[in-house]
Structure 1
Amino acid sequence: MLAVVKKPHIEVRAHRIPGALIIFMQETYKPENVEIKNEESTSWEETDLFKIRFDDSTPGEMIFASRDMRGWSLAALAEKLGKSAHYVSDLENGRRPVSRKMAVALGKIFECDSAIFFEFS
Structure 2
Amino acid sequence: MDWYKEAEKRQTPAKTLRFYRTLNKLTQVQLAEKLGVTKQFISNMETGQKPISRKTAYLLSEIFGIDAGRFI
Matched residue type, 1:97: P
Greater fraction of residues in strand: 1
Give the share of equivalent positions with the same residue, in percent.
31
| Greater relative contact order (CA < 8 Å, ≥ 6 in sequence) | 2
Gaps spanning 5+ residues in structure 2: where?
A: none
CA drift at 1:65: 0.4
Greater fraction of residues in helix: 2
Larger Rg: 1
* Structure 2 CA distance for aligned equivalents of residues 96 and 55 of structure 1: 20
What per-residue deviation string (whole Å, max 9, x for no partner) do you get for residues 44-98 of structure 1? xxxxxxxx53121110100000000111100000000000000000000000001
TM-score by length of 2: 0.89
Q: Helix, strand or coil for the counterpart of 2:49? A: coil
Matched residue type, 1:66: Y
Q: 1:62 aligns with which of 16, 22, 30?
A: 16
* Structure 1 CA distance for aligned equivalents of residues 24 and 8 of structure 2: 21
Q: 1:111 aligns with which of 32, 52, 65?
A: 65
Tell me the equivalent position of 2:25. 71
TM-score by length of 1: 0.54
Gaps spanning 5+ residues in structure 1: where?
A: 1-21, 25-51
Tell me the equivalent position of 2:39. 85
Matched residue type, 1:54: E
* Structure 2 CA distance for aligned equivalents of residues 53 and 73 of structure 1: 25
| Large movers: runs of 4+ above 6 Å | none
Aligned length: 70
Tell me the equivalent position of 1:23. 4
* Structure 1 CA distance for aligned equivalents of residues 60 and 4 of structure 2: 22
TM-align CA RMSD? 1.5
